[in-house]
């Protein structure tokens, strides 16, 4: 039996939650008290919007900790915990007292314990690795288990997609790396800690919600590879291979991890028999894998490790590793170091997209082969970034005529593909108009050539008009639109049409301005009315104040039911409302 005072229970949750929990006291079910040495764990189920598992740990008549599975129960201070503690303080006899766990286990013989463990493993086979590794909860393995036990994460509540907080676990992976690198470290301790890390990650991982923790498998796998390079008992060696295989089945094993964790060298240092075993289970997992992406990933890893069969990281193995990991710059550097320039250039077009010169400029520069990269860029101008790199290369070398021809061609014929993914690792494309101006020996002549080229197709009208406006050629822009019999507002929209009107003489500007303001008004809504009023007001210096006020009055007469339009015209100072309001200045 346990003892808990009402004061101790209330002190734990506070008066507010205590009051909130009172309605839930009677509805608690499956109440139990589990003694464990000097502590007692109280358990039960509470009913709210759903059924919630509630637990509290008592020590010395005080509440040492609590937890509830409800959305706010992580800290153990919710109304459901309050209800459990109130029931325990007021009616301890309602709790079924379970046998003390230590007493129960101590009274069991070895055969009974083994049978119990087997029954538990049949219900929870994911615990097998923990049992094989020694089942220890001490040392680094115990710390890893405790760190995972403190992680409370519900993917359904993770609206931001941040994933679980694993800072403490990651700190312990550094300890695992140090332990596995220590020559005198106990092999069983290394194995136990690596298995505890893999078990914790596997239990927390949730494919349905996109919770992927394969990154945590990397330090565990590296530790197991270091362990296998040592003199081990047959049991530990077998368990290490089992853990390595199960980690690969659960989390995969990428060539990128081989490179980032320097696992190729660790694999090459293993005895031949261990390398053969690893290659064997990798081949088996690859053959059995039903997911295409995972099968390709394992195949790349298998190909890289297969290059290490001789027990050393050969140059060919390094190249295979860089290629499998998608490290284009590293692959190019390795090939250039071996004088294989043709293969390095060919590698630039491998994969799903050709390489931009910016990605591989460093190794080509280091080996004095920028001319080779220039040739690649010239022959692959449609590759995103190639033209921009080549322009900068020409400018840096003082080759402005070539830069001029390149920029002019970009504006006349386009600059190539611009896949969205490039925005993550390449600079934005150049402003080719500004780039052309910077190297143009005769800008008026170049400008005329662009105007003539863009004017040939109606699809280019919007771009051409903006260009002409920026060049201060408003009347030329209107002439182009008239030649194509194009409606300025339809082609440009009311905002740009207003800008065009303001660049024209007054007699040409007025009808276009009224048309643009009408288009704004027909958009309906206060924002559009404010835009119409702003367009009229901006024309006052060109048309005169009286003219724009007259236009405002005409719009009110044409749209007498649009009260918000009149209010915006008044706000702009174009109309008076009763006594003199804001005036146009």
Residue 475 CB partners (closer than 8 Å, separation 6+)? 503, 504, 505, 508
pLDDT band at 324 (very low <50, low <70, confident <90, very high): low
The pLDDT assigned to 341 comes to 96
Ranges 12-21, 109-118, 237-246: which has the least confidence: 109-118
Instruction: Please state which of the ranges 87-101, 153-167, 283-297 shows the lowest mean pLDDT.
Output: 153-167
Query: What pLDDT does 424 receive?
Result: 41
pLDDT score of 36 more than 80: yes
List of residues 6+ apart from 583 with CB closer than 8 A:
573
* Average pLDDT, integer, range 465-489: 89
Write the DSSP symbol of residue 230.
S
* Interatomic CA distance for residues 387 and 381, integer angstroms: 5
Alpha helical stretches, state H, 52-208: 79-90, 101-106, 110-123, 128-132, 139-149, 167-181, 187-204
Query: Beta-carbon neighbour count of residue 58 at 10 Å?
Result: 24
- Buried b or exposed e, range 473-502, using 16+ CB within 10 angstroms: bbebbbebbeeeebebbeebebebbbbbbb
Q: Where do we find the tokens 């239990």?
A: 203
Of the candidates 288, 429, 436, 419, the one whose C-alpha atom is nearest the C-alpha of residue 352 is 419
Asked if residue 46 has pLDDT above 70, the reply is yes
pLDDT of 289 > 70? The answer is yes
pLDDT value, residue 153: 75
Output the pLDDT for position 212. 67
The residue to which tokens 């491998």 are assigned: 350
In the predicted structure, residue 169 carries a pLDDT above the cut 80: yes
Task: Please give the angle made by the CA atoms of 541, 543 and 547, to the nearest 5 degrees.
Answer: 115
Whether 257 has a pLDDT exceeding 70, the answer reads yes
Rg, Å, the chain Cα set: 37
- Across residues 52-80, what is the average pLDDT? 90
- The answer to whether residue 265 scores a pLDDT higher than 50 is yes
Report the predicted TM-score, pTM, of the whole model to 2 decimal places: 0.52
Q: What is the DSSP string of 395-445?
A: HHTT-HHHHHHHHHHHHHH------GGGGGTSPPPP-HHHHHHHH-S-HHH
What 3-state DSSP class applies to 55?
A: strand
User: How far is 180 from 11, CA to CA, in rounded Å?
Assistant: 46
**Which sign, positive or negative, has the C-alpha torsion 503, 505, 510, 511?**
negative
DSSP string, 132-148: HTT---SHHHHHHHHHH
Q: Which pLDDT band holds residue 172 (cuts at 50, 70, 90)?
A: very high
Q: Please, which pLDDT band fits residue 416 given cuts at 50, 70 and 90?
A: low
pLDDT of 552-574, one tens digit each? 899 989 898 998 999 899 998 88
More confident residue, 48 or 138: 48
Sheet holding 62-68, edge to edge: 62-68, 51-59, 39-47, 29-36, 96-97
pLDDT band at 56 (very low <50, low <70, confident <90, very high): very high
3 state DSSP class of 539: coil
Is the pLDDT score of 250 beyond 70?
yes
The tokens describing 42, both together, are: 């109280």
Q: Smallest Cα–Cα separation from 403: which of 392, 419, 414? A: 392
**How many angstroms separate the CA atoms of 431 and 423, rounded?**
15
User: Among the listed ranges 60-69, 219-228, 418-427, 478-487, which one has the minimum average pLDDT value?
Assistant: 418-427
Sign of CA dihedral 306, 307, 309, 313: negative
pLDDT of res. 67:
92
φ/ψ of residue 323, rounded to 5? -65, -45
Of the ranges 214-223, 287-296, 362-371, which one carries the lowest mean pLDDT score? 287-296
Note whether 43 and 51 are within 8 A (CB): no
Higher pLDDT, 426 or 25: 25
Tokens of 404: 């001029």
The total of other beta-carbon atoms located within 10 Å of residue 8's CB is 17
State the average pLDDT over residues 311-336.
Answer: 78
- Looking at every residue in the chain, the average pLDDT score rounds to 86
Please give the Cα distance from 573 to 576 (Å, whole number): 7
**Selection from 403, 315, 257, 358 nearest residue 348 by Cα:** 358
Q: List phi, psi (to 5°) of 539.
A: -85, -5
Backbone angles phi, psi at 68, to 5 degrees: -135, 145
- Band the pLDDT of 207: cuts 50, 70, 90: low
pLDDT above 60 (res 334)? yes
| Residue range 350-373: mean pLDDT, rounded | 91
> What pLDDT is attached to residue 101?
79
């Amino acid at each position: 039996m346990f003892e808990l005072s009402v004061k101790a229970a209330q002190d734990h949750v506070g008066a507010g939650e205590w009051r909130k929990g009172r309605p839930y006291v009677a509805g608690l079910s499956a109440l139990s008290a589990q003694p464990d040495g000097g502590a007692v764990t109280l358990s039960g189920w509470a009913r709210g919007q759903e059924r919630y598992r509630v637990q509290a740990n008592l020590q010395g008549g005080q509440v040492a900790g609590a937890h509830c599975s409800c959305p706010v129960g992580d800290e153990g201070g919710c109304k459901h915990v309050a209800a459990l503690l109130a029931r325990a303080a007021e009616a301890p006899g309602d709790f079924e007292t379970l046998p003390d766990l230590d007493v129960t286990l101590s009274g069991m013989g070895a055969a009974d314990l083994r049978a119990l463990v087997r029954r538990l493993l049949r219900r929870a086979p994911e615990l097998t690795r923990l049992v094989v590794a020694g089942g220890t909860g001490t040392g680094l393995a115990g710390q890893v288990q405790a760190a995972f036990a403190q992680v409370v994460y519900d993917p359904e509540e993770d609206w931001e997609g941040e994933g679980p907080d694993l800072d403490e676990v990651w700190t312990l992976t550094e300890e695992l790396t140090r332990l596995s690198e220590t020559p005198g470290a106990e092999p069983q301790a290394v194995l136990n800690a690596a298995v505890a890390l893999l078990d914790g990650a596997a239990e927390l991982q949730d494919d349905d919600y996109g919770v992927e923790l394969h990154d945590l498998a990397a330090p565990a796998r590296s530790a197991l590879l270091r362990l296998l390079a040592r003199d081990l008992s047959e049991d530990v060696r077998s368990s290490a291979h089992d853990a390595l295989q199960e980690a690969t089945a659960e989390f995969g094993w990428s060539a990128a991890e081989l490179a980032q964790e320097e696992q190729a060298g660790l694999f090459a240092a293993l005895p031949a028999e261990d390398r053969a075993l690893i290659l064997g289970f990798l081949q088996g997992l690859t053959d059995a894998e039903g997911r295409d992406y995972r099968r390709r990933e394992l195949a790349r890893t298998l190909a890289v490790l297969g290059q290490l069969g001789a027990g050393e990281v050969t140059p060919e193995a390094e190249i295979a590793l860089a290629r499998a990991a998608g490290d284009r710059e590293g692959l190019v550097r390795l090939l250039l170091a071996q004088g294989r320039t043709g293969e390095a250039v060919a590698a630039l077009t491998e994969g799903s997209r050709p390489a931009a010169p910016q990605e591989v400029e460093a190794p080509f520069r280091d080996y004095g082969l920028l001319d080779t990269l220039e040739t690649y860029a010239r022959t692959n101008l449609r590759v995103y970034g190639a033209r921009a790199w080549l322009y900068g290369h020409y400018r840096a070398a003082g080759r402005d005529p070539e830069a001029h021809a390149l920029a002019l061609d970009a504006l006349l014929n386009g600059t190539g593909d611009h896949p969205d993914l490039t925005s993550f690792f390449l600079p934005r494309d150049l402003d080719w108009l500004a780039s052309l101006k910077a190297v143009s020996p005769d800008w008026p002549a170049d400008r005329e050539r662009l105007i003539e080229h863009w004017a040939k197709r109606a699809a280019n009208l919007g771009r051409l008009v903006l260009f002409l406006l920026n060049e201060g050629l408003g009347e030329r822009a209107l002439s182009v639109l008239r030649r194509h019999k194009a409606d300025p507002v339809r082609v440009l929209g009311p905002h740009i049409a207003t800008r065009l009107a303001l660049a024209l003489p007054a007699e040409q500007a007025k009808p276009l301005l009224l048309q643009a303001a009408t288009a704004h008004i027909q958009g309906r809504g206060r924002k559009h009315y404010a835009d119409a009023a702003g367009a009229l007001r901006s024309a006052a210096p060109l048309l005169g104040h009286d003219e724009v006020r007259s236009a405002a009055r005409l719009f009110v007469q044409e749209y007498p039911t649009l009260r918000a339009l009149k209010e915006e015209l008044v706000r702009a100072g174009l109309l008076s409302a009763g006594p003199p309001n804001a005036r146009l200045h």
